[in-house]
Structure 1
Amino acid sequence: MKTIRDATTKAAVSLAIVTSAARERLDAIRQEADQASDRGDGPISTVIIIMASIAGALVIAGALAVLYGKYATKLTGE
């Protein structure tokens, strides 16, 4: 019975140490992130990527509309 209590105590202490170390590391990361001025991609490149994806979607939708218009009579069987 004593070995079970010892193992439980050791596990609890180990868990407390790991949790404390993880919390300290996360706090350090948050402080570094708050001090850093660069927070990711620039807004210009983000806008370019979004506009390119919208343009690509419009091209695909337009091509599908043209194909549907061209083959509409064959699809309906008239």
Structure 2
Amino acid sequence: MKHTAARTYRAVHWLTTRLQERLEEATRRPDRGDISITTVIIWVAAVTGAALIAGTIIVVVTKYNGKLTGL
């Protein structure tokens, strides 16, 4: 039981210290190179476009599957 309590204390202390360091760094350097909303919008649009294209290909192949076998 003592070992578990000691490990828990060390883990909580480490996490608290790490969080405090990150908050101090965020205060010192507010622009840390975080991903911008524009980048997120571009990625979402790209993934959505790719999913639509893949879906269209699947629909076309499924629809014409019988006719494609003779090619």
Q: How many residues align?
A: 61
Q: Which has the larger radius of gyration?
A: 1
Equivalent pairs: percent with the same residue?
20
When you count helix as a share of all residues, which structure comes out higher?
1
After the TM superposition, which parts of structure 1 deviate over 4 Å for at least 4 consecutive aligned residues? Answer: 18-21
Identify the residue that residue 58 of structure 1 maps to in structure 2: 52
| 2:39 is the alignment partner of 1:45 | yes
**The 10-residue stretch of structure 1 (54-63 or 39-48) with the greater mean CA deviation from structure 2:** 39-48
TM-score by length of 1: 0.55
Structure 2: 5+ residue stretches without partners: none
Structure 1: 5+ residue stretches without partners: 1-7
Question: Cα RMSD (Å) of the superposition?
Answer: 3.0
TM-score by length of 2: 0.59
